[in-house]
């Protein structure tokens, strides 16, 4: 298991759902946290839940639906901390349920901006810093969704994440910076909806498997959180 005490982790989309659960679990291991949300006030609930843990906490807001908004998040992290050791690219959206032929190019672009392009923009800054510092872990939320054409922009953006992870792992193979794609499963969240199979809390501890089982999941792999329910 990686010693997390004192390390800095950025969790995008940490004001609710999966990101919030990840932040809480990281805090239990002594990890300092950068909580990201679209607005600073959205982080109040997460901060309240983190009060019992003696870790440093910072809130940095930024809309990921544009390069400018994503850059504001990046700039905030650089100004307040300067680097991250652990990066959870978790924030994402789904498209409106429509027949695939009625999904507009604008809707595709919106999904790709938030679910993929903002991830690339963030990683392009912080992964080289990890390499220079000699260590880092990056986990990007993906999805096992398939054969649902009405959700094609979402599913294709997540397929892009899987391929992107493998390509980055090849680039980083001679470093101690590793990257993983996390499939959290179908969870009851604002995004997953009330009919989902699992409570959001079940994403833990599996979401942290690359950290808790260091070396057991190969860099570049897509892994399922629910395959690691017993890692603690």
> Does the bond joining 205 to the residue before it have cis omega, within 30 degrees of 0?
yes
Please list, in sequence order, all residues whose beta carbon lies within 8 angstroms of the beta carbon of residue 160, skipping any fewer than 6 positions away.
112, 115, 116
Both tokens of 84, joined, read 């991250």
- Cα(205)–Cα(25) distance, integer angstroms: 8
Assigned token pair, 187: 């969870």
Partner residues linked to 57 by β-bridges:
33
The residue from 29, 88, 154, 228 that is catalytic is 154
Q: Is 53 a catalytic residue?
A: no
List residues bridging with 171 in a β-sheet. none
Distances (CA, A) of 144 to 167, 192, 215: 19, 12, 23
- Residues acting as catalytic residues: 154
């Amino acid at each position: 298991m990686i010693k997390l005490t004192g390390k800095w982790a950025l969790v995008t989309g940490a004001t609710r759902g999966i990101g919030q659960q990840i932040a809480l679990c990281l805090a239990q291991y002594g990890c300092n946290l950068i909580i990201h949300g679209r607005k600073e006030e959205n982080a109040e609930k997460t901060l309240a839940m983190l009060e019992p843990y003696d870790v440093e906490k910072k809130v940095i807001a930024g809309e990921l639906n544009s390069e400018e908004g994503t850059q504001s998040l990046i700039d905030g992290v650089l100004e307040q901390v300067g680097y991250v050791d652990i990066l959870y690219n978790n924030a994402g959206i789904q498209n409106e349920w429509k027949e695939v032929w009625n999904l507009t190019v604008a809707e595709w672009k919106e999904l790709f901006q938030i679910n993929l392009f903002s991830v690339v923009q963030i990683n392009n800054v912080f992964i080289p810093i990890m390499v220079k510092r000699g260590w880092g872990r990056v986990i990007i939320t993906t999805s096992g969704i398939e054969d649902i054409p009405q959700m094609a922009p979402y599913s294709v953006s997540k397929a892009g994440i899987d391929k992107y992870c493998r390509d980055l792992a090849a680039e980083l193979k001679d470093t101690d910076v590793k990257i993983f794609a996390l499939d959290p499963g179908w969870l009851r969240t604002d995004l997953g909806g009330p009919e989902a199979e699992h409570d959001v809390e079940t994403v833990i501890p599996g979401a942290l498997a690359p950290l808790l089982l260091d070396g057991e999941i190969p860099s570049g792999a897509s892994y399922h959180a629910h395959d690691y329910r017993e890692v603690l």
